[in-house]
Amino acid sequence: MTTLEFTNVSFSYGPERFMDQLSFSVAEGELVGLMGPNGAGKSTILKLAAGLLSPQKGIIMIGEHAIGTYSGKERAQQVAYLPQILDLQAPFRVGELVRMGEYPQNGAQALTVEEALLLVGLQDKTNTHLAELSGGERRRAYIAMTLVQGARVLLLDEPLASLDIKYQFDLYRLLKDIVREKKVSVFMSLHDIGMGAMLDRLLLVKHGRLIAQGDPGSVLTDEIVQDTYDLNDSIGLYMAANRSVCRALAVASLQCRM
Amino acid sequence: MKRDNSSTFLIAAALCAASLCIILVSVASGPRLLNPFILDSETCRTLLAIRLPRTAVALLMGGALGASGAILQGIFRNPLADPYILGISSGASLAASFGLMFGISLFTLSVPILAFIGAIATGAAVVILGHGWKGLQPERLLLAGVGIGFFLSAVLMLVMTISVDDGLKRAILWMSGDLSMVDWELLPAGLLLILGGLGLALTRRRGLNALTLGDDIAHSLGFNPIRERLFLFIAASLMTAASVSMGGVVGFIGLVVPHVVRRHVGSDAVVVLPLSVVAGGTLLCVADAIGRTVAAPLELPAGVIAALIGSPYFIYLLGQRKTH
Amino acid sequence: MRCNVTGLMLCLLFLIGWSETALCGAAPPPKRIISLAPAMTEIIFSLGLGERVVGVTTVCDRPDEARSKTKIGGMANPSLEAIVALKPDIVVMTSDGNPKAISERLRKLGIRTHVFKSRRLPEIPAGIREMGQTLGAQPPADVLAGNIEKAIRDVSSSLRGKSSRTNNGGGRKALFVIWPSPLIVAGPGTILDDAMKMSGLRNIAADGKVAYPRFSVEAVIERQPDLILIGKGHDDMKTLAKGFLKSINMLDAVKKGRICFMDDALYRPGPRIPVGMAELDRCGKMP
């Protein structure tokens, strides 16, 4: 079942058309990555999906309805968006932050605050200030908030950026759990090819256009990556290295296709 | 989670109880220490006609400033935001001082009403200037506030330098926050505005929390950031106007009280707003009591004393945070 | 409350035809007086009412007896509580220094006030007479007012007799320094300006926009005063004024030593006006 669908979406910031006739969809319980060079339109696509920006043409569906037809509260129960940079200065404790996920709720909750904290592994940090957490823990706290919010679609703008390898894997596992157990769809932008190979599906964009989409194995070929990122010949070595890591992961029964 | 709630509740209850005691002691102290158990007619008169209105206005003013500061810091996501920095206080005091200097006293409430008009007009100008192409932008709004505030202060200074009248000294006192001539008359209007502002802010408490996380996340939580910020800004303007119109500009409380409150009970607006009212009101009340007592019969401005007591505590808290 | 109702009825009677002085205006002379300004304190004491004064401001320093009176705070911000606690029959204040709000507030508290409104030198005698009437001390007020009127007459007539070209002060350009750094001088509309005019001095700051303008040193040099008068705003004005005098040392006034350090008699619209006028006259005649 499709939970997020772009149909012929066009968008421009100024007079010049930035994104033309973009179409794709994300299914329920799917972990989808969005890759492409800087300025390709990854953040714009995520903001369009979140309703932060409105398309000039085309339709963006979330669940049964177009994103623009929801009221604020209804939209918040369907889709949640976390920007790339989470405010370090936000003066809240973990518990207070996660409880804000209850705001769009009218009584019935998908997940209680305690359950969400347990799921993201922060059950012992309820009273810790956000500023005292590591980057990865802070990201998980915000994700717990979106889970309490009950959003069916989770839009994450480069959640893995500036995390060390352990936290990247922790976050990956958490997203995987959420997708499998809570049937939430996660749509995230990222840069790391190795991480991209571990997702269910990948979208490659460039200049606001979709270059390729499909399972990582079919998208992460030398030609497509070289074309997307305008890379020179050394791409072959780099991809080969990533591929051998991916095989090692697959042997350890981790999902990785490349 | 339960433990968190109950400890916050305990701290809040302790603060309120302490405030009540401090307020009672403040009422009793002045040039003459009043014994609340022996109330002769003269004591009664002093209490009713002078002490109580002063105490009430100090509580309201301090409370309004504390809450305004908490709101403005949240919606602009800037720990430096307060009614003074944003120029709202300057606008109110300029309008009020004009009234005093040109002797506009058609009726007794004219000067407070002028202050209110000044505050609202400045607030509106700051909001309009703060509108960028993407709507209200926090940084832009803050810059607009600082710019307009400086301009208005300069105009006031200019008018003061070239004016002769006996309103002059009064106007200077108006600038530094003076409670010595306060009486019951100003109270009803001030109380109404402050309750209105606080009520509006409390109905928007969730929006205030969400805005503190940034506009994108507030939107993601189902709020319209621009609308929430506008409502909260109006609430803060109402309270600031009421405060300035009752006793002039006091700069310290709006900036520091919310920080101190957050240090003790966290940042949830549901708790921070009411407790900023209590703490700000108590601080100004104590400051006024000290101001009229220590150098009696000289009156020291309450705003100055508030900064004198409050700053060392604030600096102590900053130091604590560093070692944490 | 009852007093007010009675008073109101009496005033209504007056409107019907009774005499005002017989009823409404015939308040007994006040026994407990509070003064809210140094000049007012001086006047009250010189009217022989010193014993009735129960409270003064912290800046009321003359006469010496005034210093031992109970203090009720400063001129601009007296303590209402302290005033009320002294149960005054009347509070005497001036429109030049006491905020208007104080008299309004006192009246609301049911305390009688007298506001001295004279700001110019020629108005002072009338102001003193009026105050004498309110305080029930008309004869001494007449004497005091007469003294001041005489002092004004003396200076003016000595001027009229002589040509303005001689060195009796006539036509000399002068500057009255209130404070040397920053330079604040006596401008138009002040007693000092009036007194200078009457003594035949031309105040070079008479075109200042305000009563006590902040004056630029350049303007002083350009206007070349023949005489610099320095008021007593501090016990050691000679030291304080050194820098200012050095910066204008190219002026004749400084070269010829026509610098006159004066007392503060003309700062206050009170009994020391004649002394101040005489002092100003002497300074104006400096060689």
pLDDT digits (tens, 9 = 90+) for C173-196: 999 998 888 888 998 888 899 999
Comparison of pLDDT for C180 and A187, the residue scoring more: A187
B203–A contact, CB cutoff 8 A = no
Is A81 near chain B, with CB under 8 Å? yes
pLDDT at A107: 67
Of the pLDDT bands very low, low, confident and very high (cuts 50, 70, 90), residue B171 is low
Residues C271 and C258: their CA atoms lie apart, in Å, by 27
Shortest distance, CA C269 to any CA of chain B (angstroms): 16
Task: For residue C103, list chain B residues with Cβ-Cβ distance below 8 A.
Answer: none
- Region C77-84 average pLDDT: 88
Residue among C74, C189, C209 minimizing CB distance to B162 = C209
Predicted pLDDT of residue B203 = 95
B46 touches chain A (CB under 8 A): no
CA distance linking residue B175 with residue B251, whole number of Å: 10
Q: Is the pLDDT of residue A202 over 90?
A: yes
Higher pLDDT among residues B186 and A184, named by residue = A184
For the segment A227-248, the average pLDDT, to the nearest whole number, is 83
DSSP collapsed to 3 states, chain B: CHHHHHHHHHHHHHHHHHHHHHHHHHHHCCCCCCCCCCCCHHHHHHHHHHHHHHHHHHHHHHHHHHHHHHHHHHHCCCCCCCCCCCCHHHHHHHHHHHHHHCCCCCCCCHHHHHHHHHHHHHHHHHHHHCEECCEECHHHHHHHHHHHHHHHHHHHHHHHHCCCCCHHHHHHHHHHCCCCCCCHHHHHHHHHHHHHHHHHHHHCHHHHHHHHCCHHHHHHCCCCHHHHHHHHHHHHHHHHHHHHHHHCCCCHHHHHHHHHHHHHHCCCHHHHHHHHHHHHHHHHHHHHHHHHHCCCCCCCCHHHHHHHHHHHHHHHHHHHHHHC
B153-167, B287-301, C246-260: least confidently modelled range: B153-167
pLDDT confidence of residue B186: 77
Tens of pLDDT along C201-260?
A: 899 998 887 788 888 888 888 888 999 999 887 878 888 888 888 888 888 888 888 899
User: Which band of pLDDT confidence, cut at 50, 70 and 90, is reported for residue B206?
Assistant: very high
- How many whole angstroms from its chain centre is CA B310? 14
Q: What is the mean pLDDT of residues C107-114?
A: 91
CB contact under 8 A, C82 and B162: no
| Cβ distance of B213 and A100 shorter than 8 Å | yes
Interface pTM, i.e. ipTM: 0.91
Cβ atoms of C53 and C86 within 8 Å: the answer is no
With contact defined as beta carbons under 8 Å apart, do A80 and A146 qualify? yes
A124 touches chain B (CB under 8 A): no
Of B154-163, B171-180, C48-57, C164-173, the range with the lowest mean pLDDT is C164-173
Chain B residues closer than 8 Å to C105 by CB: 181, 183
Of B133-142, B192-201, B255-264, give the lowest mean pLDDT range: B133-142
A126 has a pLDDT exceeding 50: yes
Question: Smallest Cα–Cα separation from A113: which of A87, A146, A162, A90?
Answer: A146
Q: Average pLDDT in the A149-155 region?
A: 91
User: What local confidence, expressed as pLDDT, does residue C232 receive?
Assistant: 87
Q: C230-257 in b/e burial notation, b at 16+ Cβ within 10 A?
A: bbeeeeebeebbeebbebbeebebbeee
Rounded mean pLDDT, C158-187: 72
pLDDT confidence of residue B263: 84
Read off the pLDDT of each residue in A143-152 and give the average, rounded to a whole number: 90
Q: In this structure, are strands A19-27 and A2-11 parallel, antiparallel, or unpaired? A: antiparallel
| pLDDT tier for residue B283 given thresholds of 50, 70 and 90 | very high
Neighbours of chain C (3+ CB pairs under 8 A): B
Is A101 close to B221, i.e. CB distance below 8 A? yes
User: Which of C138, C103, C97, C104 minimizes the C-alpha distance to C118?
Assistant: C97
Q: Are B281 and B62 in contact (CB under 8 A)?
A: yes
Please state the φ and ψ torsions of residue A13, each to the nearest 5 degrees.
-80, -40
pLDDT higher than threshold 90 for residue A249: no
Contacts of B170 in chain C (CB under 8 A): 76, 99-101
| pLDDT for C3 | 42
C167 pLDDT more than 60: no
Give SS3 for A226.
helix
The pLDDT of residue B108: 57
Mean pLDDT of B104-116: 66
- The C-side interface with B (CB below 8 A) comprises 58, 71-74, 76-82, 84-85, 87, 95-102, 105, 108-109, 189, 209-211, 214
C-beta separation of A230 from A37 below 8 A? yes
CA-CA distance, B83 to B255, in Å (whole number)?
A: 8
In this prediction, residues C85-110 reach a mean pLDDT of 88
> Mean pLDDT across the stretch A80-92?
85
Side-chain-facing half-sphere of A192: CA atoms under 13 Å: 18
A58's tokens: 């085309």
C/B touch flag: 3 or more CB pairs below 8 Å: yes
Q: What percent of chain A has pLDDT over 90?
A: 44
Q: What percent of chain B has pLDDT over 70?
A: 87
| Phi and psi, residue A226, nearest 5° | -60, -40
* Contact residues, chain A, for B266 at CB < 8 Å: 91-93, 96
Q: Determine the 3-state secondary structure of C112 from DSSP.
A: coil
Mean of pLDDT over chain A:
88
Range in A188-202, B7-21, B149-163, C266-280 the model is least confident about: B149-163
Contact at 8 Å (CB) between C63 and C45? yes
Taking all residues of chain B, what is their mean pLDDT, rounded to a whole number? 82
Tokens 């105490």: give the residue: B55
**Within its chain, how far is the Cα of B306 from the centroid?**
12
Task: Give yes or no for residue B167 having a pLDDT over 60.
Answer: no
Testing the interface with A: which of B217, B262, B264, B271 to mutate, by most A Cβ within 10 A?
B217
Choose the weakest-confidence range: B23-37, B160-174, B201-215, B309-323. Answer: B160-174
Question: What gap in Å lies between CA B218 and CA C26, rounded to an integer?
Answer: 73
Contact B170 C58 (CB under 8 A): no
pLDDT tens digits, one per residue of C35-79 = 999 999 999 999 999 999 999 999 898 889 999 999 998 888 888
B204, B220, B268, B270, best to mutate vs chain A, most A CBs in 10 Å: B220
Q: Around B239, how many Cα atoms within 13 Å sit in the side-chain half-sphere?
A: 38
Read off the pLDDT band of A155 (50, 70, 90). Answer: very high
Which of A103, A133, A148, A187 to mutate against chain B (most B CBs within 10 Å)? A103
Chains A and C touch (3+ CB pairs under 8 A): no
Which residues in chain A are closer than 8 Å to B216, comparing Cβ atoms?
47, 50, 52, 81, 83
How confident is residue B68, by pLDDT bands cut at 50, 70 and 90?
A: very high
Q: Which of A44-48, A217-221, B225-229, B296-300 is predicted with the least confidence, judged by mean pLDDT?
A: B296-300
Cα separation, A138 vs A169, whole angstroms: 15
Q: How confident is the model over C2-16, as pLDDT tens digits?
A: 444 444 443 333 433
The top-scoring range by mean pLDDT among A117-131, B101-115, B309-323 is A117-131
Provide the pLDDT for residue C54.
94
Residue B267 has pLDDT above 80, yes or no: yes
Among B46, B166, B173, the residue with its CB nearest the CB of C100 is B166
Does C101 score more than 90 pLDDT?
A: no
Region B295-314 average pLDDT: 84
Size of interface A-B (CB pairs under 8 A): 82
Decide: C257 and C139 in contact? Cβ < 8 Å.
Answer: no
> Once rounded to an integer, what is the mean pLDDT over residues A58-79?
91
| Segment among A125-134, A204-213, B113-122, C103-112 with least mean pLDDT | B113-122
Mean pLDDT of B45-69: 90
